[in-house]
Structure 1
Amino acid sequence: MRIVEVRERTFPISSPIRNAVVDFSQMTLSLAAVITDEVRDGRRVVGFGFNSNGRYGQGSLMRERFVPRLTAAAPDDLLDDDGLIDPHRAWDVLMTNEKPGGHGERSVAVGVLDMALWDLRAKLEGRPLYDLIAEKYGTGAPDRRVFVYAAGGYYHPGKGTRGLKDELLSYLDRGYTVVKMKIGGAPLAEDLERVEAALSVLGPGQRLMVDANGRFDAEEATAYLTGLESYDLHWYEEPTDPLDYHGLNQVAERRTSVPLATGENLFSSQDALNLARYGGLDPERDYLQFDCALSYGLVEYLRTLESLRPLGWEPSRFIPHGGHQMSLNIAAGLGLGGNESYPDLFQPFGGFPDGVEVEDGHITMPELAGIGFEGKADLAAVCASLVEDV
């Protein structure tokens, strides 16, 4: 097989919401299509990939550096012994002449293309990506039932505590058992009122997470911790800057009960290893949120899992950020602890294939070839718009 073309386009996923650090009024993402000369059922086989919210589209990086390397590569540099695309070999091609470190936006551009290549590989084999991942890198059998939580509770113009409660209730009514809200964008006293309002709508077996999006230094994060530990929270997310391992360690030393979660803004296996070494996190009760779509893709994610396992971090402690189907496939294939979900935001790129329902906080992965984008009608239409002439 041969890659004949790679296309990309920037799409808006803007929203009037904000967290403690950024608003989403100008947010974009990149959608890429890797087009091959292979034909299945009379149609060209195409792999699709896109990045998660929060880091904007990366079209210029793909056009200027990464796509030319991929399309100029000899077939032997991209294919395995069966003549199919090998995402690991393709990753090496993409990263040719790239220096270590300084991951920044580069990791997002590569993550988009890596996702498309894995989608392509599973489609060429005619099976779900989670099945392929389980066979090659997991136990051999995927766990199609995946825990998901509902991310929301953003600061929204004109939306008070009543609106927050209504939003979270809507998620619980749809089958979620764990919901998340933002903190750090208002004074502590106001945020604690918001937390109490959120907790007031929870029933038995339902939990609340809070997310500061790296807004605080260690002193501020600890001040919040003092208030938050009086509540029964599922976790306290990103209390400090993602790279402030010392500050996070200080928070971890002070907490007595609430689990911590972080990692969505770390983009390499080396950064993840530094977090595990120096962040003070406990692999028995804390969580890691690395997002393959922002951090060089599944190829690097596998390295991250491998490097952290000797430090006591099992796959069940990984719950990726991003709310996309790629991480759902990884969770099902590798036995991760679950995946983030955005029930109402960043559409059509978030969410599940049509007909997939949340039941008791879990979804069951459908049997769709590839990642499963074609099983979500609104997303399938956007993907098709990129290759309508193929």
Structure 2
Amino acid sequence: MKIVDIVETTRPIQSNIRNAYIDFSKMTLSLVAVVTDVVRDGKRVVGYGFNSNGRYGQGALMRERFLPRLLEADPATLLDAERDNLDPHKVWATMMTNEKPGGHGERSVAVGTIDMAVWDAVAKIEGKPLFQLLAERYGTGTPNRKVFVYAAGGYYWPGQGIEGLEREMRSYLDRGYSVVKKKIGGASLAEDCKRIEAVLKLLGPGQKLAVDANGRFDLKTAIEYAKALSQYDLFWYEEAGDPLDYALQAELANHYAGPMATGENLFSMQDARNLIRYGGMRPDRDWLQFDCALSYGLVEYLRTLEMLKENGWSPSRCVPHGGHQMSLAIAAGLGLGGNESYPDLFQPYGGFPDGVKVDNSHVLLPELPGIGFEGKADLYAEMKALAA
């Protein structure tokens, strides 16, 4: 058993939208296929992965460092002899050979993308959904296939206006979402409050709005928004300041009693640990958004979950960023609190397998081997073409 090839392609996921910090007109991602020599049901096992939106494709890093290390390694050093399978932890260690600690930037995205493809292959080799494999190896043994999801949108579209925002949010509610999210910080505070109030008027009993500043604010502005947002019953106030400004996040907790969320731009267990140590996050109400596809993959995410446990946090307070099926599988297998969803954006990479419906902001994951990419026809068409 061995990996016989790994291929990467950089794909556009551009969209004419912006948040408080960046626009997505030139956004890309890396799509990876890990090809093995294993055959299941008459087909060669291929694992697939891609990185979340917002960090661009990482093909250069992969081709220069990480893919050669895997392809040049003795295949036996990458195997789980006990299970007759690839060992994702050994694969990860091989990729990170000769890498210094710290500097958790773009390389964490490159490694996380390859790691996703490896886990997809491992679960397919065992003939199980990844969520089942994770529950058996690291969880309770029984996955919860019903996963909470929320609809992320509400970006600043050219010429959209309040009416356009209302149409967008109403469409998410009509599709079964009871929690929706919109951006803030890309307009004035007064304008953002008008946009918030327009969405709140659409919500019925049990429905909630979350807001996301994408790290735009300094402390003074973050507090000004906190005071204004306190008049609303929001699902959360997300990433007010720079993701590494733990002092800002800690001080903000003194000015905003409602739930806050952050973590999507922290790319290692160590950075996540610093947030827990110094960021003033409250385990009874706040949410953690670490995204395995951006932060060295599931191997590192398992370390992060162990760190959270040691610090009194439940995995149910984790709702990852990214809107991809990898985090859905982790949520179902390891008891996370849910997952982000992009109903209309960044396709075909976001979303769920075909036929999966949203009911009261929950989805029921189908029994598909691996991560389940083969169940989403438009996405699998791109993956299959890459592997071919």
Retained in 2: the 8 A contact 1:248–1:280? yes
Aligned match of 2:266: 266
The DSSP-based 3-state class of the residue aligned with 1:274 is: helix
* Map 1:1-390 → 2, pairs under 5 A: 1-81=1-81, 82-256=83-257, 258-388=258-388
* Partner-residue secondary structure (3-state), 2:165: helix
Deviation at 1:76, TM superposition (A): 2.0
Question: What is the Cα deviation at residue 334 of structure 1?
Answer: 0.5
Amino acid at match of 2:333: G
8 Å contact 1:253–1:280 — kept in the other structure? Answer: no
- Once superposed, what is the RMSD of the aligned Cα atoms? 0.6
Confirm or deny: 8 A CA contact 1:154 1:182 kept in the other structure.
yes
Native 8 Å contact 1:49 1:115 kept in 2: yes
Normalised by the size of structure 2, how large is the TM-score? 0.99
Contact 2:243 2:262 in 1 (8 A): yes
SS of equivalent residue, structure 1 residue 308: helix
SS of 1:292 mapped into structure 2: coil
Give the whole-Å Cα distance in 2 for the aligned partners of 1:310 and 1:101.
Answer: 22
Residue identity opposite 1:154 in structure 2: Y
SS of 2:39's partner is: strand
* Pairwise CA distance, 1:41: 2.2
TM-score (norm 1): 0.99
Secondary structure of the structure 2 residue equivalent to 1:48: strand
Q: Which runs of 5+ in 2 are unaligned?
A: none
Name the CA distance, whole Å, in 2 between partners of 1:85 and 1:310.
Answer: 29
Q: Deviations over 1:249-281 (max 9, x none)?
A: 11011112x210000000000000000010011
Q: How far, CA to CA, are the matches of 2:344 and 2:291 in structure 1?
A: 20
Q: Secondary structure at the match of 1:253?
A: coil
Asked if structure 1 preserves the Cα contact closer than 8 Å seen for 2:308 and 2:315, the reply is no
Percent of aligned pairs with the same amino acid: 68
Q: Distance in 1 between matches of 2:275 and 2:380?
A: 37
One-letter code aligned to 2:27: M
- Kept in 2: contact 1:12–1:29 (CA 8 A): yes
Contact 1:242 1:263 in 2 (8 A): yes
Partner deviation per Cα, 1:30-75 (whole Å, 9 max, x = no partner) = 0000001111222211000000000000000000000000111112
User: Could you tell me how far apart the structure 2 residues matched to 1:117 and 1:207 are?
Assistant: 36
How many correspondences in the alignment?
387
